[in-house]
Amino acid sequence: MLWIVILLAILVMVSFLYVGHGFLGGVFALLVLIVGGHYGGASIIFTGWAVIFIAVLSAIFGIHNIRRIVLTSSLMTIVKRSLPKISETEQTALDAGTVWWDAEIFSGRPDWERLGKFDVSGLTAEEQDFLDGPVEEICRMTDDWKTAQNRDLSPEVWQELKKQQFFGMIIPKEYGGLGFSAQAHSAVVLKLSSRSLPLSVVVMVPNSLGPAELLLHYGTKEQKEYYLPRLAKGEELPCFALTEPKAGSDAASIQSSGVVCRGKFEGKDVLGIRLNWRKRYITLAPVATVVGLAFKLYDPSELLGDQEDLGITCALIPRETKGMAIGKRHDPMGVPFPNGPIEGKDVFIPLDWVIGGQAGVGQGWRMLMESLAAGRSVSLPSLSLGAAQLATRVTGAYATVRRQFGLPIGRFEGVAERLARIGGLTYGMDAARKLTCAAVDAGERPSVLSGIAKAYLTENMRLVFLDAMDILGGAAICRGPKNLLSRAYDGIPIAITVEGANILTRSMIIFGQGSIRGHPFVPQELEAVGKNDLTAFDEAFWGHINFTMCNAARAGVDGLTGGRFIRVEGTPVARRHKQLLTRYSSAFVLVADVSMLMLGSSLKRREILSGRLADALSWHYLATAAVKRFEDEGSLANDEIYLNWFCAYAYQQIEQALITITHNYPVRFLGTGLRLKLFFWGRSAHGPSDKESLELARRVMGEKEGRDRLSKDIAVSRNTDEAMGALEEAYYKILAIAPLDERIRTARKTGALKGVDREDLPVVAAEKGIISKEELKQLQDANSLADTAIEVDDYTAAAYKKLKG
């Protein structure tokens, strides 16, 4: 009888918790125990004391005024002492941008209906015309191999970029720019990057974190009217100088400094700033005509007020300004985009060169963090996808054209496994790019999600290229105009390093900022503690406790059932993925909440743990984007393989992260308890099945137009004098002769061509009437094209010594 009562009480408690009523669940569970105990033979005295006990607990936890006095005031003091110290620059970085779908993941129950209604718009007619016209033309004009050998884009390409306003895509039309959406900006960078990395970087930088972006949001009227039209027309080329020898990822530690003072400018005595700086790794610096500069500003003479340390400030400085040394170049991995150092010694500038004028003094760090929150959503994710789509198209063709042992190499399962990963990751990367850009177009500045997009799309690009390089083998490592991958491969570390190194972004920023901004209660708790507001803290803290208990119940039940009873809408395939993502959301949030509660301020230092939580959060977002893309594109049966493969891969990463956390948890028994609660049956996500991978590999090689589907946004040369055009022609010719190959292969198996050497098969087949003379000619032409397409470049000794890049 006792065990029945206890089980009934637990069932009541879990049921209330599952639907979000922790307090009522506790009350009714205790009532069940009391009533059950009474009918089970407990004494009247025991029952009476139990009733009194539950009444007291209900009063303490249910009556807010009593709870605040008895419990909350002491808890607030403890929490205040345990919070990590956060500097002003750290707080600014944490507060930057907006919270969007990351808050839904932290809720434990994402609102799928809300996501379904969110519009991921395509391009306008004007944007599509630009993509089909000027972008295609600039790709045609650019020879990536010649760019590498000449160490620069051609003068004609530079001129065309200015003429067609590639540097003014994000500048509104009222200032003479193109006024493109983030989706269009992304599509342009994607296509350019598939043609030439230096080309894409040159276009990307002025449209990302730089003077135009900062001026649009923070510039004075005069600054906007002067600079934005000139930037839009390419009359000015901008760069932004932030990184320096002692301030890389820790950009807030910049040593560049300025002092407010009076000085002579154009013959007049004006209030200004005396600057000294030393910057490096500045893209476009060697060719820039105007430099955006970040520096720490001081006012020892109190010319602007009574504060000496005014904080990080940003200013615009023309190239010809006296005292600035600019023009030298770095050589990043041999990739020839302009990049170099900038130094300034005793440079005097007027105060009105500060972005935003005097009102912008000390606001530089906020400007940079807010702009970066949007900028990282577009540029590098788009570049990464362009490279991935290029790898998909090239590798799919090469695996079809290249033969070993009489078969296309893509037919071997070892190669097929890599082809599948190339195609699957490319599909998911595209989904994440589109969703994140759509958020920016909707007015969001998604700081956490932009960090995810930048870090994980560049990392996935690295995986895709490693697989592609392995498949192409010698054709990928021998440099020359016929090599379609090596120059993009050289640039991978660059994309991973800039705009926030991925190691730092993963281990410190994504989860750290996400938990403080996206959690349903943590932001309110921190704000209440900061304001010493007991009432607000009481509401937030006990709301957090109830949330954690309810989410723990949901995570446990969903773990046992695999989330199959979670109510969501959609087609059967999409609905199942939403159930699983909801189940992983509650599991992730439970681990995050327990970690924040038990580890407190020390969690900030536990970067391995924070990095694994970032993995779980990030792969959840990437899989969510894939589901959104699948539904937006009509939930087509033909697309299920892409969605299923990518989500299976993502679930494997999520489970790997969470289970590894529990095995390495600082509090061992808690780690074990979490693992049993969330993964009672053990791991359920083992990645894509072999059957799925083999099917996806065939898609990458062209089955059901999969190769075109996965690489539809890149620049594809049809010029057979170029490597891409030659490979494309060979690929389609080889596909056309596939039936003839199959006929010959069948004849060899059945005996008609038994014993014939592989090289002689076509001729003997024609002699025996298995194929016609016309078909023999078709076979020979296709194979000749294939032989040419897989050839690599060679050089004389003298020519070899002259190779660059």
Half-sphere CA count of 476, side-chain side, radius 13 A = 18
Side chain identity at 89, as an amino acid letter?
A: T
DSSP state of 805: -
By the 8 A CB rule, do 365 and 254 touch? no
Side chain identity at 382, as an amino acid letter?
A: S
By the 8 A CB rule, do 361 and 373 touch? no
Distance CA 181, CA 202 (A): 19
Distance CA 188, CA 181 (A): 11
Selection from 536, 483, 511, 489 nearest residue 723 by Cα: 483
Selection from 41, 32, 28 nearest residue 6 by Cα: 32
Query: In whole angstroms, how far apart are CA 293 and each of 241, 245, 800?
Result: 5, 15, 41
A 10 A CB-CB count for 763 gives 14
Identify the H or E element spanning 39. Answer: helix 22-39
Half-sphere CA count of 446, side-chain side, radius 13 A = 27
Side chain identity at 449, as an amino acid letter?
A: L
3-state SS, residue 515:
helix
Cβ neighbours for 281, distance < 8 A, ≥ 6 positions apart: 243, 330, 332, 339, 341, 498
Exposed/middle/buried for residue 794 (C-beta within 10 Å: 0-12, 13-18, 19+): exposed
What are φ and ψ of residue 275, in 5° steps? -110, 145
Q: Which two tokens stand for residue 14?
A: 């879990």
DSSP state of 705: G
Half-sphere CA count of 737, side-chain side, radius 13 A = 27
* 176-191 burial code (b ≥16 CB/10 A, e <16): bbbbbbbbbbbbbbbb
Distance CA 450, CA 373 (A): 6
A 10 A CB-CB count for 284 gives 23
By the 8 A CB rule, do 403 and 701 touch? no
692, 652, 456, 120 alpha-carbon torsion, rounded to 10°: 60
Distance CA 635, CA 633 (A): 6
Distance CA 140, CA 448 (A): 37
Exposed/middle/buried for residue 77 (C-beta within 10 Å: 0-12, 13-18, 19+): exposed
Distance CA 60, CA 58 (A): 6
The secondary structure of 748-783, three-state, reads: HHHCCCCCCCHHHHHHHHHHCCCCCHHHHHHHHHHH
Catalytic residue among 160, 499, 655, 722: 499
Query: Among this protein's residues, is 775 annotated catalytic?
Result: no
Cβ neighbours for 559, distance < 8 A, ≥ 6 positions apart: 583, 587, 677, 678, 679, 680, 681
Half-sphere CA count of 172, side-chain side, radius 13 A = 7
By the 8 A CB rule, do 603 and 595 touch? yes
DSSP annotation string for 73-123 = HHHHHHHHHHSPP--HHHHHHHHSSB--HHHHHHHSS--HHHHHHS-----
Distance CA 197, CA 338 (A): 12
**Among all residues, which ones are annotated catalytic?**
499
